[in-house]
Structure 1
Protein backbone atom coordinates (compact mmCIF):
# COMPACT_ATOMS: atom_id res chain seq x y z
CA UNK A 1 0.00 0.00 0.00
CA UNK A 2 1.43 3.39 -1.01
CA UNK A 3 1.14 6.09 1.62
CA UNK A 4 -1.22 8.99 0.90
CA UNK A 5 -1.76 11.50 3.72
CA UNK A 6 -5.26 12.03 5.13
CA UNK A 7 -4.36 14.44 7.94
CA UNK A 8 -6.81 17.26 8.55
CA UNK A 9 -4.38 20.04 9.46
CA UNK A 10 -7.17 22.23 10.80
CA UNK A 11 -8.39 19.47 13.13
CA UNK A 12 -5.11 18.47 14.82
CA UNK A 13 -3.60 20.55 17.61
CA UNK A 14 -0.06 20.20 16.29
CA UNK A 15 2.18 18.13 14.02
CA UNK A 16 5.16 16.55 15.75
CA UNK A 17 7.90 16.45 13.10
CA UNK A 18 10.30 14.20 15.05
CA UNK A 19 9.03 10.82 16.32
CA UNK A 20 10.98 7.56 16.44
CA UNK A 21 9.75 4.10 15.51
CA UNK A 22 11.92 1.93 17.75
CA UNK A 23 10.57 -1.58 17.15
CA UNK A 24 8.82 -3.54 14.43
CA UNK A 25 6.16 -6.22 14.45
CA UNK A 26 8.90 -8.86 14.75
CA UNK A 27 10.34 -7.41 18.00
CA UNK A 28 13.44 -6.15 16.20
CA UNK A 29 14.82 -2.95 17.77
CA UNK A 30 16.04 0.15 15.95
CA UNK A 31 19.31 0.10 17.95
CA UNK A 32 21.17 -2.54 19.92
CA UNK A 33 20.20 -2.84 23.58
CA UNK A 34 23.26 -1.03 24.97
CA UNK A 35 22.57 2.06 22.86
CA UNK A 36 18.86 1.93 23.66
CA UNK A 37 19.58 1.77 27.39
CA UNK A 38 22.15 4.58 27.27
CA UNK A 39 19.73 6.85 25.41
CA UNK A 40 16.90 6.11 27.86
CA UNK A 41 19.19 6.87 30.81
CA UNK A 42 20.34 10.14 29.23
CA UNK A 43 16.78 11.39 28.70
CA UNK A 44 15.35 9.77 31.87
CA UNK A 45 12.31 8.80 29.86
CA UNK A 46 9.47 6.91 31.53
CA UNK A 47 7.64 6.22 28.27
CA UNK A 48 7.56 2.86 26.52
CA UNK A 49 10.93 2.78 24.77
CA UNK A 50 10.01 0.51 21.88
CA UNK A 51 6.93 1.96 20.17
CA UNK A 52 5.82 0.39 16.91
CA UNK A 53 4.02 2.29 14.15
CA UNK A 54 0.67 1.07 15.49
CA UNK A 55 1.58 2.19 19.02
CA UNK A 56 2.46 5.67 17.76
CA UNK A 57 -0.74 5.97 15.73
CA UNK A 58 -2.89 5.12 18.74
CA UNK A 59 -0.98 7.45 21.03
CA UNK A 60 -1.02 10.49 18.73
CA UNK A 61 -4.60 10.00 17.59
CA UNK A 62 -5.81 9.94 21.20
CA UNK A 63 -3.87 13.16 21.89
CA UNK A 64 -5.36 15.00 18.91
CA UNK A 65 -1.93 15.28 17.30
CA UNK A 66 -0.24 14.11 14.10
CA UNK A 67 3.32 12.82 13.82
CA UNK A 68 6.16 12.34 11.36
CA UNK A 69 7.61 8.89 12.08
CA UNK A 70 10.89 7.30 11.04
CA UNK A 71 13.86 5.12 11.90
CA UNK A 72 17.56 5.59 11.14
CA UNK A 73 19.44 3.16 8.89
CA UNK A 74 22.93 2.97 10.40
CA UNK A 75 23.66 -0.57 9.28
CA UNK A 76 27.20 0.08 8.01
CA UNK A 77 28.31 2.15 11.00
CA UNK A 78 26.81 0.02 13.77
CA UNK A 79 26.50 -3.47 12.26
CA UNK A 80 22.92 -3.53 13.59
CA UNK A 81 20.30 -4.27 10.92
CA UNK A 82 17.92 -1.35 10.54
CA UNK A 83 14.16 -1.40 10.77
CA UNK A 84 12.54 -1.38 7.35
CA UNK A 85 11.54 2.07 6.10
CA UNK A 86 9.40 0.29 3.52
CA UNK A 87 7.42 -1.45 6.26
CA UNK A 88 7.12 1.76 8.25
CA UNK A 89 5.63 3.50 5.21
CA UNK A 90 3.21 0.66 4.54
CA UNK A 91 2.04 0.61 8.15
CA UNK A 92 1.77 4.40 8.27
CA UNK A 93 -0.54 4.16 5.25
CA UNK A 94 -2.99 2.33 7.52
CA UNK A 95 -2.94 5.32 9.88
CA UNK A 96 -2.68 8.13 7.34
CA UNK A 97 -5.06 10.30 9.38
CA UNK A 98 -2.32 10.86 12.00
CA UNK A 99 1.04 9.62 10.68
CA UNK A 100 3.48 10.81 8.01
CA UNK A 101 6.35 8.41 7.18
CA UNK A 102 9.90 9.54 6.49
CA UNK A 103 12.40 7.09 5.04
CA UNK A 104 15.99 6.45 6.00
CA UNK A 105 18.81 5.12 3.84
CA UNK A 106 22.41 4.27 4.74
CA UNK A 107 24.57 6.91 2.98
CA UNK A 108 27.52 4.49 2.89
CA UNK A 109 25.60 2.28 0.46
CA UNK A 110 26.35 4.72 -2.35
CA UNK A 111 24.35 4.17 -5.55
CA UNK A 112 22.05 1.70 -3.79
CA UNK A 113 21.18 4.38 -1.21
CA UNK A 114 20.24 6.73 -4.06
CA UNK A 115 18.16 4.07 -5.81
CA UNK A 116 16.44 3.09 -2.58
CA UNK A 117 15.64 6.71 -1.76
CA UNK A 118 13.92 7.01 -5.11
CA UNK A 119 11.93 3.82 -4.52
CA UNK A 120 10.86 4.91 -1.06
CA UNK A 121 9.29 8.06 -2.50
CA UNK A 122 7.89 6.76 -5.78
CA UNK A 123 6.78 3.28 -4.67
CA UNK A 124 6.04 3.78 -0.96
CA UNK A 125 5.08 7.44 -0.66
CA UNK A 126 7.48 8.59 2.05
CA UNK A 127 7.35 12.37 2.49
CA UNK A 128 10.96 12.99 3.54
CA UNK A 129 14.16 11.43 4.89
CA UNK A 130 15.87 11.26 8.28
CA UNK A 131 19.67 11.18 8.72
CA UNK A 132 21.83 11.00 11.84
CA UNK A 133 25.40 11.86 10.83
CA UNK A 134 26.97 10.82 14.15
CA UNK A 135 25.15 7.50 14.37
CA UNK A 136 25.59 6.81 10.65
CA UNK A 137 29.25 7.95 10.82
CA UNK A 138 29.40 10.33 7.88
CA UNK A 139 30.18 13.98 7.19
CA UNK A 140 27.27 15.51 5.23
CA UNK A 141 29.59 17.82 3.28
CA UNK A 142 31.67 14.93 1.92
CA UNK A 143 31.42 15.05 -1.91
CA UNK A 144 30.76 11.29 -1.92
CA UNK A 145 27.20 11.96 -0.77
CA UNK A 146 26.32 14.63 -3.32
CA UNK A 147 24.40 12.16 -5.55
CA UNK A 148 22.15 11.34 -2.61
CA UNK A 149 21.40 14.98 -1.83
CA UNK A 150 20.79 15.64 -5.52
CA UNK A 151 18.32 12.76 -5.73
CA UNK A 152 16.37 13.93 -2.68
CA UNK A 153 16.30 17.46 -4.07
CA UNK A 154 14.92 16.09 -7.33
CA UNK A 155 12.31 14.05 -5.47
CA UNK A 156 11.08 17.27 -3.83
CA UNK A 157 10.95 16.07 -0.22
CA UNK A 158 12.74 17.38 2.91
CA UNK A 159 15.84 15.89 4.53
CA UNK A 160 15.96 16.07 8.32
CA UNK A 161 19.40 15.79 9.96
CA UNK A 162 20.30 15.26 13.60
CA UNK A 163 22.49 18.12 14.79
CA UNK A 164 24.23 18.98 18.05
CA UNK A 165 24.56 17.05 21.30
CA UNK A 166 23.78 13.34 21.11
CA UNK A 167 21.95 11.15 23.60
CA UNK A 168 22.81 7.97 21.69
CA UNK A 169 26.00 6.56 23.21
CA UNK A 170 25.97 9.16 26.00
CA UNK A 171 27.82 8.00 29.11
CA UNK A 172 29.45 5.01 27.40
CA UNK A 173 33.24 4.69 26.97
CA UNK A 174 34.15 6.81 23.96
CA UNK A 175 30.42 7.42 23.44
CA UNK A 176 30.46 3.99 21.74
CA UNK A 177 32.57 5.56 18.99
CA UNK A 178 29.98 8.14 17.89
CA UNK A 179 31.67 11.38 16.79
CA UNK A 180 29.86 14.58 17.63
CA UNK A 181 31.67 16.64 14.98
CA UNK A 182 29.65 14.92 12.24
CA UNK A 183 26.56 16.58 13.77
CA UNK A 184 27.86 20.14 13.61
CA UNK A 185 25.16 21.93 11.58
CA UNK A 186 27.74 23.95 9.64
CA UNK A 187 28.58 20.76 7.72
CA UNK A 188 25.11 21.10 6.19
CA UNK A 189 25.69 24.66 5.01
CA UNK A 190 27.46 23.38 1.89
CA UNK A 191 24.58 20.96 1.27
CA UNK A 192 21.97 23.72 1.57
CA UNK A 193 24.02 26.08 -0.62
CA UNK A 194 24.78 23.54 -3.36
CA UNK A 195 21.26 22.08 -3.45
CA UNK A 196 18.98 25.13 -3.08
CA UNK A 197 15.89 23.12 -3.98
CA UNK A 198 16.47 20.74 -1.06
CA UNK A 199 14.67 21.55 2.19
CA UNK A 200 17.17 20.94 5.00
CA UNK A 201 15.77 20.58 8.52
CA UNK A 202 18.30 20.86 11.35
CA UNK A 203 16.95 18.65 14.12
CA UNK A 204 17.19 19.77 17.75
CA UNK A 205 18.72 22.77 19.46
CA UNK A 206 22.22 22.40 17.98
CA UNK A 207 24.16 22.75 21.24
CA UNK A 208 27.07 23.56 21.31
CA UNK A 209 26.66 25.04 17.82
CA UNK A 210 23.36 26.89 18.21
CA UNK A 211 24.69 30.09 16.65
CA UNK A 212 25.66 28.28 13.47
CA UNK A 213 22.18 26.78 13.12
CA UNK A 214 20.45 30.12 13.62
CA UNK A 215 22.79 31.77 11.14
CA UNK A 216 22.10 29.10 8.52
CA UNK A 217 18.32 29.27 8.95
CA UNK A 218 18.47 33.07 8.73
CA UNK A 219 20.72 33.07 5.66
CA UNK A 220 19.19 30.28 3.57
CA UNK A 221 15.53 30.06 2.63
CA UNK A 222 15.73 26.26 2.40
CA UNK A 223 17.04 25.69 5.97
CA UNK A 224 14.70 25.11 8.93
CA UNK A 225 15.17 24.08 12.57
CA UNK A 226 13.10 21.48 14.42
CA UNK A 227 12.82 22.05 18.16
CA UNK A 228 12.89 18.42 19.30
CA UNK A 229 15.11 16.63 21.77
CA UNK A 230 15.00 19.26 24.51
CA UNK A 231 12.21 20.44 26.77
CA UNK A 232 11.57 24.06 25.70
CA UNK A 233 12.26 25.38 29.19
CA UNK A 234 15.90 24.36 28.66
CA UNK A 235 16.28 25.93 25.20
CA UNK A 236 19.29 28.21 24.73
CA UNK A 237 18.12 31.85 25.12
CA UNK A 238 19.36 32.73 21.63
CA UNK A 239 17.07 30.06 20.16
CA UNK A 240 14.04 31.29 22.10
CA UNK A 241 14.77 34.84 20.93
CA UNK A 242 15.08 33.77 17.28
CA UNK A 243 11.98 31.54 17.39
CA UNK A 244 9.87 34.46 18.55
CA UNK A 245 11.22 36.89 15.99
CA UNK A 246 13.14 36.46 12.72
CA UNK A 247 12.80 32.65 12.64
CA UNK A 248 9.16 32.35 13.66
CA UNK A 249 8.35 30.83 10.25
CA UNK A 250 11.47 28.67 10.16
CA UNK A 251 11.18 26.60 13.37
CA UNK A 252 9.07 23.46 13.76
CA UNK A 253 7.52 21.61 16.68
CA UNK A 254 9.15 18.25 17.35
CA UNK A 255 9.34 16.21 20.54
CA UNK A 256 11.81 13.35 19.92
CA UNK A 257 9.20 10.96 21.31
CA UNK A 258 9.46 8.51 23.06
CA UNK A 259 12.37 10.35 24.69
CA UNK A 260 10.24 13.44 25.41
CA UNK A 261 6.44 13.40 25.38
CA UNK A 262 4.64 15.86 23.12
CA UNK A 263 2.40 16.94 26.00
CA UNK A 264 5.38 17.91 28.15
CA UNK A 265 6.94 19.79 25.22
CA UNK A 266 3.72 21.67 24.47
CA UNK A 267 3.21 22.60 28.11
CA UNK A 268 6.72 24.05 28.32
CA UNK A 269 6.36 25.87 25.00
CA UNK A 270 3.16 27.61 26.13
CA UNK A 271 5.14 29.37 28.86
CA UNK A 272 8.24 30.13 26.82
CA UNK A 273 7.32 33.69 25.89
CA UNK A 274 7.15 33.20 22.12
CA UNK A 275 4.46 35.60 20.84
CA UNK A 276 1.16 33.78 20.50
CA UNK A 277 0.68 34.93 16.91
CA UNK A 278 3.58 32.65 15.95
CA UNK A 279 2.37 29.54 17.77
CA UNK A 280 0.26 28.04 15.00
CA UNK A 281 3.03 28.39 12.42
CA UNK A 282 5.53 26.71 14.74
CA UNK A 283 3.18 23.98 15.93
CA UNK A 284 1.77 22.88 12.58
CA UNK A 285 1.40 25.30 9.65
CA UNK A 286 5.01 25.46 8.52
CA UNK A 287 5.45 21.70 8.83
CA UNK A 288 2.22 21.11 6.92
CA UNK A 289 3.43 23.38 4.12
CA UNK A 290 6.81 21.64 3.88
CA UNK A 291 5.10 18.25 3.71
CA UNK A 292 2.40 19.32 1.28
CA UNK A 293 -0.47 18.44 3.61
CA UNK A 294 -4.01 19.61 2.92
CA UNK A 295 -5.03 22.78 4.71
CA UNK A 296 -1.43 24.01 4.96
CA UNK A 297 -2.07 27.25 3.08
CA UNK A 298 -4.28 28.83 5.72
Structure 2
Protein backbone atom coordinates (compact mmCIF):
# COMPACT_ATOMS: atom_id res chain seq x y z
CA UNK A 1 0.00 0.00 0.00
CA UNK A 2 2.71 2.49 0.97
CA UNK A 3 4.71 1.53 -2.10
CA UNK A 4 1.75 2.50 -4.30
CA UNK A 5 1.55 6.16 -3.35
CA UNK A 6 5.25 6.58 -2.69
CA UNK A 7 5.95 5.22 -6.15
CA UNK A 8 3.71 7.93 -7.58
CA UNK A 9 5.55 10.61 -5.63
CA UNK A 10 2.48 11.41 -3.54
CA UNK A 11 2.40 12.40 0.15
CA UNK A 12 -0.38 9.85 0.64
CA UNK A 13 -3.92 9.20 -0.55
CA UNK A 14 -7.12 11.24 -0.19
CA UNK A 15 -10.17 9.02 0.17
CA UNK A 16 -13.46 10.89 -0.43
CA UNK A 17 -15.76 7.96 0.42
CA UNK A 18 -15.22 6.41 3.84
CA UNK A 19 -17.80 5.67 6.51
CA UNK A 20 -17.57 6.64 10.14
CA UNK A 21 -20.84 6.71 12.06
CA UNK A 22 -22.21 6.52 15.59
CA UNK A 23 -21.44 3.06 16.96
CA UNK A 24 -25.03 1.89 17.08
CA UNK A 25 -25.67 3.02 13.50
CA UNK A 26 -22.53 1.32 12.22
CA UNK A 27 -23.55 -1.88 14.01
CA UNK A 28 -26.91 -1.81 12.23
CA UNK A 29 -25.23 -1.19 8.88
CA UNK A 30 -22.93 -4.16 9.43
CA UNK A 31 -25.86 -6.35 10.47
CA UNK A 32 -27.62 -5.42 7.23
CA UNK A 33 -24.58 -6.40 5.18
CA UNK A 34 -24.16 -9.61 7.21
CA UNK A 35 -27.74 -10.55 6.34
CA UNK A 36 -27.23 -9.63 2.65
CA UNK A 37 -30.27 -7.38 2.89
CA UNK A 38 -32.44 -6.43 -0.09
CA UNK A 39 -30.28 -3.42 -0.99
CA UNK A 40 -27.14 -5.57 -0.93
CA UNK A 41 -28.30 -8.60 -2.85
CA UNK A 42 -25.25 -10.84 -2.33
CA UNK A 43 -22.87 -12.03 0.42
CA UNK A 44 -20.80 -9.07 1.59
CA UNK A 45 -18.29 -9.78 4.39
CA UNK A 46 -17.01 -6.62 6.09
CA UNK A 47 -13.21 -6.58 5.79
CA UNK A 48 -12.44 -3.93 8.39
CA UNK A 49 -14.85 -4.49 11.22
CA UNK A 50 -13.48 -3.15 14.49
CA UNK A 51 -13.63 -0.40 17.06
CA UNK A 52 -13.50 3.19 15.82
CA UNK A 53 -9.93 3.80 17.04
CA UNK A 54 -8.78 0.63 15.34
CA UNK A 55 -10.40 1.62 12.06
CA UNK A 56 -8.81 5.06 12.20
CA UNK A 57 -5.40 3.59 12.87
CA UNK A 58 -5.82 1.15 10.00
CA UNK A 59 -6.81 3.87 7.54
CA UNK A 60 -3.94 6.10 8.59
CA UNK A 61 -1.57 3.15 8.38
CA UNK A 62 -2.48 2.81 4.71
CA UNK A 63 -1.23 6.36 4.14
CA UNK A 64 -4.66 7.98 3.85
CA UNK A 65 -4.04 11.65 4.69
CA UNK A 66 -7.62 12.93 4.46
CA UNK A 67 -10.96 11.14 4.44
CA UNK A 68 -14.67 11.60 5.09
CA UNK A 69 -17.30 10.36 7.52
CA UNK A 70 -20.12 9.47 5.14
CA UNK A 71 -23.25 9.47 7.28
CA UNK A 72 -26.71 9.10 5.78
CA UNK A 73 -30.27 8.77 7.14
CA UNK A 74 -32.80 6.14 6.09
CA UNK A 75 -35.79 7.91 7.63
CA UNK A 76 -36.93 11.36 8.78
CA UNK A 77 -35.77 12.94 12.06
CA UNK A 78 -32.35 11.31 11.81
CA UNK A 79 -30.13 13.59 9.69
CA UNK A 80 -29.76 16.41 12.22
CA UNK A 81 -28.60 13.95 14.88
CA UNK A 82 -26.10 12.40 12.44
CA UNK A 83 -24.82 15.88 11.60
CA UNK A 84 -24.27 16.65 15.27
CA UNK A 85 -22.28 13.45 15.67
CA UNK A 86 -20.26 14.13 12.50
CA UNK A 87 -19.39 17.64 13.69
CA UNK A 88 -18.06 16.24 16.96
CA UNK A 89 -16.19 13.46 15.14
CA UNK A 90 -14.48 15.93 12.79
CA UNK A 91 -13.52 18.14 15.74
CA UNK A 92 -11.64 15.27 17.38
CA UNK A 93 -10.35 13.77 14.12
CA UNK A 94 -8.35 16.47 12.31
CA UNK A 95 -7.69 14.39 9.19
CA UNK A 96 -11.42 13.77 8.67
CA UNK A 97 -13.27 16.27 6.50
CA UNK A 98 -16.35 17.57 8.31
CA UNK A 99 -19.17 15.64 6.61
CA UNK A 100 -22.93 16.21 6.82
CA UNK A 101 -26.13 14.84 5.30
CA UNK A 102 -29.85 15.55 4.82
CA UNK A 103 -33.27 14.01 4.19
CA UNK A 104 -36.41 15.51 2.57
CA UNK A 105 -38.18 16.93 5.61
CA UNK A 106 -39.36 20.40 6.67
CA UNK A 107 -36.32 20.92 8.91
CA UNK A 108 -33.75 20.10 6.21
CA UNK A 109 -32.99 23.66 5.10
CA UNK A 110 -32.39 24.74 8.70
CA UNK A 111 -30.01 21.96 9.73
CA UNK A 112 -28.14 22.01 6.42
CA UNK A 113 -27.54 25.74 6.83
CA UNK A 114 -26.37 25.09 10.40
CA UNK A 115 -23.94 22.43 9.13
CA UNK A 116 -22.60 24.78 6.46
CA UNK A 117 -22.14 27.56 9.01
CA UNK A 118 -20.36 25.07 11.30
CA UNK A 119 -17.84 24.36 8.54
CA UNK A 120 -19.08 21.25 6.73
CA UNK A 121 -16.76 20.48 3.80
CA UNK A 122 -18.72 17.73 2.06
CA UNK A 123 -22.25 16.28 2.17
CA UNK A 124 -23.56 12.76 1.58
CA UNK A 125 -26.85 11.96 -0.16
CA UNK A 126 -27.91 8.32 -0.47
CA UNK A 127 -30.88 7.97 -2.82
CA UNK A 128 -30.87 4.17 -2.64
CA UNK A 129 -31.00 3.83 1.14
CA UNK A 130 -33.04 6.98 1.73
CA UNK A 131 -35.51 6.01 -1.02
CA UNK A 132 -36.31 9.63 -1.87
CA UNK A 133 -36.49 11.73 -5.01
CA UNK A 134 -33.71 14.33 -5.12
CA UNK A 135 -36.27 16.63 -6.74
CA UNK A 136 -38.55 16.57 -3.70
CA UNK A 137 -39.72 20.16 -3.10
CA UNK A 138 -38.53 19.93 0.51
CA UNK A 139 -34.96 19.74 -0.80
CA UNK A 140 -35.10 22.74 -3.14
CA UNK A 141 -33.67 25.15 -0.55
CA UNK A 142 -31.03 22.57 0.40
CA UNK A 143 -29.74 22.17 -3.15
CA UNK A 144 -29.83 25.92 -3.67
CA UNK A 145 -27.79 26.52 -0.53
CA UNK A 146 -25.22 23.87 -1.40
CA UNK A 147 -24.89 25.15 -4.96
CA UNK A 148 -24.38 28.69 -3.70
CA UNK A 149 -21.83 27.56 -1.11
CA UNK A 150 -19.98 25.38 -3.64
CA UNK A 151 -19.84 22.46 -1.21
CA UNK A 152 -19.48 19.05 -2.90
CA UNK A 153 -22.17 16.42 -2.37
CA UNK A 154 -21.27 12.74 -2.70
CA UNK A 155 -24.48 11.21 -4.04
CA UNK A 156 -25.27 7.51 -4.44
CA UNK A 157 -27.49 7.77 -7.49
CA UNK A 158 -26.45 4.77 -9.60
CA UNK A 159 -28.57 1.62 -9.52
CA UNK A 160 -25.93 -0.63 -8.00
CA UNK A 161 -25.87 -2.92 -6.22
CA UNK A 162 -29.69 -3.08 -6.42
CA UNK A 163 -31.94 -0.56 -8.24
CA UNK A 164 -34.30 1.57 -6.18
CA UNK A 165 -37.16 3.91 -6.98
CA UNK A 166 -34.99 7.01 -7.49
CA UNK A 167 -31.65 5.61 -8.63
CA UNK A 168 -30.36 5.77 -12.18
CA UNK A 169 -29.47 8.84 -14.26
CA UNK A 170 -33.04 10.14 -14.60
CA UNK A 171 -33.80 11.71 -11.20
CA UNK A 172 -30.34 13.18 -10.63
CA UNK A 173 -30.22 14.40 -14.22
CA UNK A 174 -33.44 16.34 -13.67
CA UNK A 175 -31.94 17.82 -10.51
CA UNK A 176 -28.89 19.06 -12.40
CA UNK A 177 -31.04 20.70 -15.03
CA UNK A 178 -32.66 22.68 -12.23
CA UNK A 179 -29.46 23.28 -10.22
CA UNK A 180 -26.58 23.23 -12.74
CA UNK A 181 -24.15 24.85 -10.28
CA UNK A 182 -24.19 21.86 -7.92
CA UNK A 183 -20.83 20.23 -7.28
CA UNK A 184 -21.96 16.62 -7.31
CA UNK A 185 -19.65 13.65 -6.83
CA UNK A 186 -21.35 10.59 -8.31
CA UNK A 187 -20.51 7.68 -6.02
CA UNK A 188 -19.31 4.34 -7.39
CA UNK A 189 -18.80 5.87 -10.86
CA UNK A 190 -22.60 5.63 -11.19
CA UNK A 191 -22.37 1.83 -11.24
CA UNK A 192 -23.74 0.10 -13.31
CA UNK A 193 -24.89 3.02 -15.52
CA UNK A 194 -21.31 4.06 -16.21
CA UNK A 195 -21.88 5.48 -19.70
CA UNK A 196 -24.90 7.52 -18.60
CA UNK A 197 -23.00 9.17 -15.76
CA UNK A 198 -19.95 9.83 -17.94
CA UNK A 199 -22.39 11.57 -20.30
CA UNK A 200 -23.69 13.58 -17.35
CA UNK A 201 -20.17 14.65 -16.42
CA UNK A 202 -19.58 15.70 -20.02
CA UNK A 203 -22.69 17.90 -19.93
CA UNK A 204 -22.04 19.35 -16.47
CA UNK A 205 -18.48 20.55 -15.79
CA UNK A 206 -19.02 20.61 -12.01
CA UNK A 207 -19.95 16.91 -11.85
CA UNK A 208 -17.25 14.54 -10.57
CA UNK A 209 -17.23 10.76 -10.07
CA UNK A 210 -15.68 8.70 -7.31
CA UNK A 211 -14.13 5.29 -7.92
CA UNK A 212 -15.67 3.62 -4.85
CA UNK A 213 -15.69 -0.16 -5.40
CA UNK A 214 -15.47 0.26 -9.18
CA UNK A 215 -12.78 -1.72 -11.03
CA UNK A 216 -12.43 -4.27 -8.19
CA UNK A 217 -12.89 -7.99 -8.82
CA UNK A 218 -15.95 -7.92 -6.56
CA UNK A 219 -17.76 -5.31 -8.64
CA UNK A 220 -16.42 -6.43 -12.00
CA UNK A 221 -18.11 -9.79 -11.47
CA UNK A 222 -21.59 -8.21 -11.51
CA UNK A 223 -21.14 -4.76 -13.04
CA UNK A 224 -18.03 -4.69 -15.23
CA UNK A 225 -16.79 -1.33 -16.47
CA UNK A 226 -16.91 -1.46 -20.30
CA UNK A 227 -13.37 -1.31 -21.74
CA UNK A 228 -14.67 0.87 -24.56
CA UNK A 229 -15.29 3.63 -22.01
CA UNK A 230 -11.68 3.78 -20.80
CA UNK A 231 -10.67 6.59 -23.21
CA UNK A 232 -13.52 8.69 -21.85
CA UNK A 233 -12.40 7.92 -18.30
CA UNK A 234 -8.90 9.05 -19.21
CA UNK A 235 -10.21 12.29 -20.71
CA UNK A 236 -12.19 12.96 -17.52
CA UNK A 237 -9.10 12.44 -15.38
CA UNK A 238 -9.37 15.81 -13.65
CA UNK A 239 -12.83 14.97 -12.26
CA UNK A 240 -12.38 11.43 -10.98
CA UNK A 241 -11.71 10.99 -7.26
CA UNK A 242 -10.56 7.97 -5.31
CA UNK A 243 -13.08 6.49 -2.88
CA UNK A 244 -12.99 3.15 -1.06
CA UNK A 245 -16.17 2.57 1.04
CA UNK A 246 -13.87 1.69 3.97
CA UNK A 247 -14.57 -0.11 6.28
CA UNK A 248 -17.57 -1.70 4.53
CA UNK A 249 -15.67 -3.50 1.79
CA UNK A 250 -15.36 -7.26 1.19
CA UNK A 251 -11.70 -7.23 0.10
CA UNK A 252 -8.38 -5.65 1.16
CA UNK A 253 -8.17 -1.87 0.87
CA UNK A 254 -5.13 -2.05 -1.41
CA UNK A 255 -7.15 -3.99 -3.98
CA UNK A 256 -9.13 -0.83 -4.81
CA UNK A 257 -5.90 0.96 -5.72
CA UNK A 258 -4.62 -2.05 -7.64
CA UNK A 259 -7.84 -1.95 -9.64
CA UNK A 260 -7.11 1.63 -10.67
CA UNK A 261 -3.51 0.87 -11.59
CA UNK A 262 -4.44 -2.06 -13.82
CA UNK A 263 -6.64 0.22 -15.95
CA UNK A 264 -3.38 1.31 -17.57
CA UNK A 265 -4.27 5.02 -17.72
CA UNK A 266 -0.85 6.16 -16.56
CA UNK A 267 0.83 7.63 -13.51
CA UNK A 268 -0.35 11.19 -14.10
CA UNK A 269 -3.96 9.98 -14.10
CA UNK A 270 -3.36 7.99 -10.92
CA UNK A 271 -1.75 10.95 -9.15
CA UNK A 272 -4.72 13.13 -10.00
CA UNK A 273 -7.33 10.54 -8.99
CA UNK A 274 -5.67 9.46 -5.75
CA UNK A 275 -4.71 12.89 -4.51
CA UNK A 276 -4.63 15.94 -6.77
CA UNK A 277 -8.26 16.18 -7.81
CA UNK A 278 -9.62 15.85 -4.29
CA UNK A 279 -7.01 18.24 -2.92
CA UNK A 280 -8.14 20.87 -5.43
CA UNK A 281 -11.90 20.29 -5.08
CA UNK A 282 -11.82 20.19 -1.28
CA UNK A 283 -9.13 22.88 -0.86
CA UNK A 284 -6.75 20.58 1.03
TM bracket, shorter-chain basis: 0.7 to 0.9
What SS does structure 1 have at the residue aligned with 2:190? coil
Partner of 1:275: 266
Contact 2:157 2:172 in 1 (8 A): no
Match of 1:197 among 181, 190, 194: 181
CA RMSD, Structure 1 to Structure 2 (Å)? 2.7
Contact 1:114 1:147 in 2 (8 A): yes
User: TM-score, structure 1 length as denominator?
Assistant: 0.78
Partner of 1:264: 255
Distance (whole Å) between structure 2 residues aligned to residue 254 and residue 129 of structure 1: 14
Distance (whole Å) between structure 1 residues aligned to residue 160 and residue 28 of structure 2: 14
Q: Is structure 2 residue 147 aligned with structure 1 residue 153? A: yes
Deviation string, structure 1 residues 24-73 (Cα, Å, up to 9, x no partner):
3xx44364665242268836334234663x44432222111131222111
What SS does structure 1 have at the residue aligned with 2:18? strand
Distance (whole Å) between structure 2 residues aligned to residue 51 and residue 121 of structure 1: 29
Assess, with a 3 A threshold, how the Cα gap between structure 1 residues 74 and 239 changes in structure 2: closer, same or farther.
farther
Distance (whole Å) between structure 2 residues aligned to residue 239 and residue 86 of structure 1: 41
Distance (whole Å) between structure 2 residues aligned to residue 196 and residue 165 of structure 1: 22
Q: Is structure 2 residue 80 aligned with structure 1 residue 85? A: no
Distance (whole Å) between structure 2 residues aligned to residue 80 and residue 32 of structure 1: 15
Contact 1:57 1:95 in 2 (8 A): no
User: TM-score, structure 2 length as denominator?
Assistant: 0.81
Q: CA deviation at 1:254?
A: 0.6
Assess, with a 3 A threshold, how the Cα gap between structure 1 residues 43 and 289 changes in structure 2: closer, same or farther.
farther
What SS does structure 1 have at the residue aligned with 2:69? strand
Contact 1:204 1:228 in 2 (8 A): yes
Q: Is structure 2 residue 225 aligned with structure 1 residue 236? A: yes
How many positions carry a matched residue from both structures? 264
Q: CA deviation at 1:185?
A: 2.6
Distance (whole Å) between structure 1 residues aligned to residue 80 and residue 248 of structure 2: 19
Distance (whole Å) between structure 2 residues aligned to residue 277 and residue 33 of structure 1: 36
Assess, with a 3 A threshold, how the Cα gap between structure 1 residues 255 and 160 changes in structure 2: closer, same or farther.
same
Partner of 1:253: 242
Q: Which runs of 5+ in 2 are unaligned?
A: 1-8
Contact 1:132 1:183 in 2 (8 A): no
Distance (whole Å) between structure 2 residues aligned to residue 134 and residue 155 of structure 1: 25
Q: CA deviation at 1:84?
A: 2.1
Assess, with a 3 A threshold, how the Cα gap between structure 1 residues 215 and 270 changes in structure 2: closer, same or farther.
same
Distance (whole Å) between structure 2 residues aligned to residue 258 and residue 240 of structure 1: 28
Contact 1:128 1:159 in 2 (8 A): yes
Aligned residue runs from structure 1 range 164-175, under 5 A: 164-167=158-161
- For structure 1, which segment, 60-69 or 219-228, has the greater mean C-alpha deviation from structure 2 after superposition? 60-69
Match of 1:210 among 159, 178, 194: 194
Distance (whole Å) between structure 2 residues aligned to residue 257 and residue 87 of structure 1: 19
Distance (whole Å) between structure 1 residues aligned to residue 44 and residue 160 of structure 2: 14
Q: Is structure 2 residue 103 aligned with structure 1 residue 106? A: yes
Q: CA deviation at 1:75?
A: 2.2
Match of 1:29 among 26, 41, 50: 26
